[in-house]
Chains A and B, each alone.
Chain A
Amino acid sequence: MLKSVNRKVALFLAAVAILFIFLSFQLPSYPYTEVDADIVPKGLGFLLLICSILLFFNNQEETEAERKKREIPRDELLMLLAVFGIILVYIFLLELIGFVIMTILFIFFTTWFLGYKKLISNLAVSVTFSLVIYLLFSYLLQINLPAGILPI
């Protein structure tokens, strides 16, 4: 089992290497230079290919700690995917709705979703944090975060 995991990773990396080498050969050449832009990428591609072959044939045993790291319960993985989904929504709506509203919603909802059920303190933290960060960035650091629909 453990061998096959490393082997699958190695095969994937070899595929990446071959794709990278292929793309490196597609790079247009520039006539006025001794060493063109494709040399380093080609070298890296071949290095990765060699290393993935070495990884494939490496029979180093996986340690107990390494195996443990890989074993993640299905629910937890779904949880992680859900958090990534929330982040995607946040990014998508950030410029439309604005930083303050989105951040309040994000912190409140994610914190609740991950299992913190005290709604009042959750709300207090998410509102205070979002406002403080917004004001800090706008006034102290002069970085304007998207105001969105709020008239601030």
Chain B
Amino acid sequence: MEAFQGLMSGFQIAFSLSGIIFIFIGVFVGTFIGMMPGLGPISAIAIMIPVTYNMDPALALVMMAGVYYGAIFGGSTSSILLNAPGVAGTVATSFDGYPMAQQGKAGKALAIAAISSFVGGTISVVLLMMFSPLLASVAISFGPAEYFALMLLGLTAISSLSEGSTIKAFISAILGFMVVTIGIDSQTGTARFTFGNANLLEGIDFLVIALGLFALAEVCMLIFNRKDTSVSDNKNLGSMKLSKNDIKEMAGPMGRQSFLGFIIGVLPGAGATIASFIAYITEKKIAKNPEEFGKGSIKGVAAPETANNAATSGAFVPLLSLGIPGSGTTAVLLGAFLVLGIQPGPLLVQDHPDIFWGIIASMYVGNLFLLILNLPLVPYISKVLRIPRPMLISLVIIFSLIGVYALSFNTFDLYLLLAFGVIGFLMRIFSFPAPPFILAFILGGMMEQALRQTMTISNGNLYIFFTKPIALSLIILSLLSILFPIIKNRIKKPVG
């Protein structure tokens, strides 16, 4: 009953005039940025954070949530039309979406994407609403030891699940953790690694990292691909109408993948990307005619699109109820919360019910917006893809610079931003994944605090972790997740 009342008050925020306007802005901007090839949801959220500085927290966060799932949806549009996914979570959509577009059925593919995103998003919001308060009530008894173990699990999971070399992913996470130790230590007041520079005493702001490592680094890659304008000027999208048979065919994948995608989204480390791939693979496995996949199958578009949106809502569960993000994107979203002075976690439902329920209610509304906004408008929005790359590049650079400048009004931070842009670029060149870095940066401060609190309780003895069953099992899980890629490799190439 309490939840019902909470939801109703949430809807009051979502359905207020300003609520609707900000959800609309969020979804629209998210779709817009997500559609840009190369720019993902992390950049979209980071670019929008400065806009929220003086806003009402509930409205600001409702808008940011809209940016997040809008960006995922926008990514699918460029996957279908360009075969150039703007977002990693929509790569699987291009497997069948792009062939459909080549057959002149781009409109149909976009309609399938919009409808399955809506279904996946909506079903998983219902699940989010049921699970978040439940998890929060369990987590309320967690002490620093459990929190430390939980965050450790999040970090090891994202590292071992990222694509490419696992060692590189771990190095990326360690570097992110190192950067967050710069500045005054909150417990002892010791200035660490500041080299006498007063600008570094307060540490490096996360927005500098997020915009540098993602937006600026993505711009660097865009500079290399600026001549690649594969979208033709007068491409006919074709009809967007779906027949009854099409809908029947979509129903199965949509139903299954909403749940599967949600569960994967809740798990630490896994997110929209992994959910969409797993959805694609499972649907292909159970399909009656798997040979259609890859040639423009309806199921092949519906499955990943349902799953990535479901995972997006799933990722909100640990963020809202534990205060611990499980992915790079939710890490940046947590940063957005903290900028507004809101600490998500088990106490969020009690302390800020307006925000907790406002976000959940806004996701119902936002998903509806995505559907009614995008179905008729997609042909027009897709013109965005024709913005000349050189102009897009300069605009994104300016957005990143303003974002950081408006934070501190200090040009020192702008030089730092540029430096992290270079680091992010080098990481991409040498195939070091960036999401573990940002997640470690966001979690690092909390992890260090939790670890030191735990060890202070035990007078510096690590043995305390063995006396706490929840913390111990989480640590064992993290160790297993480190071993997982090694085992996987061994199985792949049997040592003869």
Residues of A within 8 A of B (CB): 5, 9, 13, 20, 23, 27-28, 30, 33-41, 44-45, 47-48, 51-52, 54-55, 58, 60, 62-63, 66, 69-70, 72, 76, 79-80, 83-84, 87-88, 90-92, 94-95, 103, 106-107, 110-116, 122, 125, 129, 133, 137, 141-143, 145
Contacts and interface: CB of A to CB of B under 8 A. Distances in A.
Given A34-B455, A129-B398, 5 more contacts: A35-B452, A69-B431, A76-B224, A114-B394, A143-B53
B227 A115 contact: yes
Interface of B: 50-51, 53-54, 164-165, 167-168, 170-171, 174-175, 177-178, 181, 185, 187-190, 192-193, 220, 223-224, 226-227, 388-391, 393-395, 397-398, 401-402, 405-406, 411, 414-415, 418, 421-422, 425, 428-431, 448, 451-452, 455-456, 459-460
Contact of A52 (B171, B390, B428, B430): B171
Given A58-B167, A114-B223, A9 B430 contact: yes
B391 A111 contact: yes
A48 B223 contact: no
Contact of A39 (B165, B421, B452): B452
Given A69-B431, A94-B414, A125-B391, A51 B456 contact: no
Contacts of A88: 415, 418
A103 B389 CA distance: 18
Contacts of B53: 141, 143
A37 B192 contact: yes
Given A55-B168, A114-B393, A143-B54, A33 B188 contact: yes
How would you classify the secondary structure of chain B's contact residues: helix, strand, loop or mixed?
helix
A34 B430 contact: no
Nearest to A41: B181
Nearest to A46: B174
A79 B429 CA distance: 16
Contact of A35 (B51, B189, B431, B456): B456
A142 B52 CA distance: 11
